[in-house]
């Protein structure tokens, strides 16, 4: 459950916590879009280092931040390894496993490095937004950006019930351990974990149906406009922080385009 312990960290008093939620949401979402189209690894790495520096400025426990990045880091490495052996024409090395020889391609290494950095940077940006901004401000900004109401409502429901589902899963797992599920062979533990996941999926589906019926009974309509969350303009000092950040991201995007157009390495 340590993975979820950072959820209330937006209540801090640092500069990022005090910054207007509309500015943070727009800048960080735009940064995710920029990162997803960059093709030069050092540009992506630069944004990632800046993001990690901002995460450290929140003064959060480094161990828990590491746990948050552990899963996407593992996925990114799988992508890198798969591309190393499957994409490209220029063989730079051959890796031998027993009687099996796998060629390592230069193009696959370059593409895999970029994609790996993209994944880690996008997750870090999303984490920075979630840890410094209340979910209500993020959703209100998405509505201002004309994101479809159904998507915003789904995001709200996922955020609201993800923690209760995690707590339910932990309770079911503890019940298994109390009944002698701790010390069993690995295949028995894997089966027990699969049973927990299956039961949790069924309970989640049943609960979602009940919640949706309750919402319909209370007059829910996805096309109904939500009341305005923000009743004031963005402070000038927050705009002075957001506009240069957007311009810097645009400059990075232009630099990447120019380098690609000119064929620079």
Residue 25 structure tokens = 């949401």
**Sequence ranges of the domains in the chain:** 12-133+232-265, 134-230
From first to last of its 265 residues, the chain has per-residue pLDDT tens of 444 444 444 456 678 888 999 999 999 999 999 999 999 999 999 999 999 999 888 887 777 778 778 888 888 888 888 888 888 888 888 888 777 888 889 888 889 999 999 999 999 999 999 888 988 899 899 988 888 877 888 888 777 777 777 777 777 777 777 776 666 677 777 777 787 778 878 877 887 788 888 878 887 776 666 677 788 888 999 999 899 999 999 999 999 999 988 877 6
Q: What is the DSSP string of 37-52?
A: H---HHHHHHHHHHHH
- Residue 34's pLDDT is 96
Q: Smallest Cα–Cα separation from 156: which of 172, 133, 168, 140?
A: 140
- Residue 222's pLDDT is 64
Q: Show contacts of 228-232: CB within 8 Å, 24+ apart.
A: 229/136, 229/137, 229/139, 229/140, 229/143, 230/22, 230/140, 230/144
- Residue 9's pLDDT is 47
Strand, coil or helix: what is 76? helix
Q: What is the pTM of this model?
A: 0.79
CA distance 233 to 243: 15
CA distance 178 to 170: 12
């Amino acid at each position: 459950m340590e993975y979820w312990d950072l959820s209330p960290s937006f209540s801090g008093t640092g500069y990022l916590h005090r910054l207007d939620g509309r500015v943070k949401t727009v800048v960080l979402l735009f940064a995710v879009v920029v990162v997803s189209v960059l093709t030069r690894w050092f540009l992506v790495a630069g944004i990632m280092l800046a993001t990690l520096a901002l995460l450290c400025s929140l003064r959060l426990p480094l161990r828990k931040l590491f746990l948050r990045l552990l899963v996407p880091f593992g996925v990114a490495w799988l992508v890198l390894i798969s591309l190393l052996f499957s994409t490209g024409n220029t063989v730079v090395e051959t890796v031998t496993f027993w009687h099996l020889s796998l060629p390592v391609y230069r193009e696959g290494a370059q593409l895999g490095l970029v994609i790996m950095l993209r994944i880690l940077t996008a997750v870090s940006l999303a984490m920075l937004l979630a840890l410094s901004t209340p979910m209500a401000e993020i959703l209100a900004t998405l509505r201002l950006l004309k994101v479809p109401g159904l998507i915003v409502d789904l995001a709200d429901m996922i955020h609201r019930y993800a923690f209760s589902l995690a707590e339910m899963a932990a309770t079911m797992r503890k019940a298994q351990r109390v009944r002698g599920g701790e010390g069993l062979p690995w295949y028995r533990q894997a089966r027990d974990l699969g049973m927990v996941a299956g039961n949790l999926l069924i309970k989640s589906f049943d609960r979602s149906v009940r919640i949706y019926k309750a919402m319909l009974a209370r007059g829910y309509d996805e096309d109904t406009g939500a009341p305005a969350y923000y009743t004031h303009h963005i402070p000038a000092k927050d705009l002075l922080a957001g506009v240069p950040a957007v311009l810097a991201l645009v400059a990075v995007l232009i630099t990447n385009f120019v380098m690609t157009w000119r064929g620079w390495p």
